[in-house]
Amino acid sequence: MSTCESLTIWWDGGLWLIDQTLLPCKLLPIRIKNVRQLIDAIKLLRVRGAPALGAAGAYGVALAADLSRTSNAQEMMADLETAADMIKASRPTAVNLSWGVDRAISAAYLGETVEEIRQHALAEAEDIALEDIRINKLIGKNGAKLLDDGDCVLTHCNAGRLACVGWGTALGVVRSACAAGKQIHVYSCETRPLHQGSRLTAWELSSDKIPVTLICDSMSGSLMRKGMIDKVIVGADRITRDVVFNKIGTYSHAVLAKYHKIPFYVAAPLSTFDRQHEESDIIVEERDRDEICTLGGTRLAPQGIDVYNPAFDATPLELVSGLITEKGVFRPPLMPPI
């Protein structure tokens, strides 16, 4: 696969991705030359969003195989296992990262020679990438039925094509509804502290000419009270037996939606479900204090102030009106079949 026009991450003689930290100012592809650079890109959110991280993890294994210079298959697999552990540890909450790495590693084990290992790892990563777009279009088709012509949809963070390989999960639902001829207006929460809503969702939707209005995160309750929101749709980083982990701020929108009797939907592929675990088992990534204390190099808070900066929160499934997946829409406590 190639081209940055519609893909977030792809292989073209090497690993490429759109550097999302430069948006909305620049749409710039960067070449990832080694596993260390991929890990930095993941930690800095140059590539981000659960499904995109799944592909990034698998391509990371393919990259490690491509760069390994050994001619011994066992040694190569040892190199790949080391790379796999490092990649998985780079962001612990989004389950797709480990899922993508593990899929590529299992495929690599099918190779008997180093060349076969390289081929299997890359083929698996390419499959995951293509599959992601196909699955997102199914999520879109299933979710579009829940949206009525003229609906105003609130979303948080970015669960669009930039969070995936293409099309998107929550924004994929909006895209599919628009493609089916419905008029949908999106309210995009800016998503403090890293502004994925204003930098990415607002950019993505306006580039596609889908009507979008940017709001601060704290405005959602007021808009709901004024009757300006018909539905909420967000993505997910991990769905356990009891909660949906998603970008910090999601839980507040879910509680507010419940109070105002507004449907709250979560759109995610089956690869984001983690039925082996519950909320208390999961590590929520805590990020650097400067993400809150500074903006574009300008200090926003007193030097040395105490800061708490979790990247994600947990929304109990009882607040979720429907889980929109490629297998259909499931109303908790109903979950999709494995």
- The residues annotated with a catalytic role in the active site are 237
The answer to whether residue 247 forms part of the interface with ligand MRU (CB under 6 A) is yes
Instruction: Indicate the residue among 118 and 195 with the shorter CB distance to ligand MRU.
Output: 195
The answer to whether residue 161 forms part of the interface with ligand MRU (CB under 6 A) is no
Instruction: Indicate the residue among 18 and 65 with the shorter CB distance to ligand MRU.
Output: 18
The answer to whether residue 199 forms part of the interface with ligand MRU (CB under 6 A) is no
Whole-angstrom distance, CA of residue 41 vs CA of residue 43: 6
Identify the burial level of 145 via C-beta atoms within 10 angstroms of its C-beta, where 0-12 means exposed, 13-18 middle and 19 or more buried: middle
Q: Is the Cβ–Cβ distance between 205 and 163 less than 8 Å?
A: no
The answer to whether residue 246 forms part of the interface with ligand MRU (CB under 6 A) is yes
Query: Which one of residues 163, 223, 239, 293 is an interface residue with ligand MRU (CB under 6 A)?
Result: 163
How many other CB atoms are found less than 10 A from the CB of residue 279?
16
Residue 84 beta carbon to ligand MRU: minimum distance, rounded to whole angstroms: 20
The answer to whether residue 50 forms part of the interface with ligand MRU (CB under 6 A) is yes
Total number of residues binding ligand MRU (CB under 6 A)?
A: 18
Tell which residue, 267, 192, 187, has the closest CA to residue 234. Answer: 267
Identify the burial level of 5 via C-beta atoms within 10 angstroms of its C-beta, where 0-12 means exposed, 13-18 middle and 19 or more buried: exposed
Residue 266 beta carbon to ligand MRU: minimum distance, rounded to whole angstroms: 8
Tell which residue, 200, 265, 205, has the closest CA to residue 229. Answer: 265
In degrees, to the nearest 5, what angle opens at C-alpha 198 toward C-alphas 194 and 203? Answer: 125
Query: Which one of residues 7, 18, 49, 257 is an interface residue with ligand MRU (CB under 6 A)?
Result: 49
The answer to whether residue 269 forms part of the interface with ligand MRU (CB under 6 A) is no
Whole-angstrom distance, CA of residue 66 vs CA of residue 38: 14
Residue 283 beta carbon to ligand MRU: minimum distance, rounded to whole angstroms: 14
Query: Which one of residues 38, 104, 210, 236 is an interface residue with ligand MRU (CB under 6 A)?
Result: 236
The answer to whether residue 235 forms part of the interface with ligand MRU (CB under 6 A) is yes
Residue 173: alpha-carbon gap to chain centroid = 14
Sheet-wide strand order for 312-316: 238-239, 243-247, 312-316
List residues near ligand MRU by CB under 6 A.
45, 48-51, 157-159, 163, 169, 196, 234-237, 246-247, 311
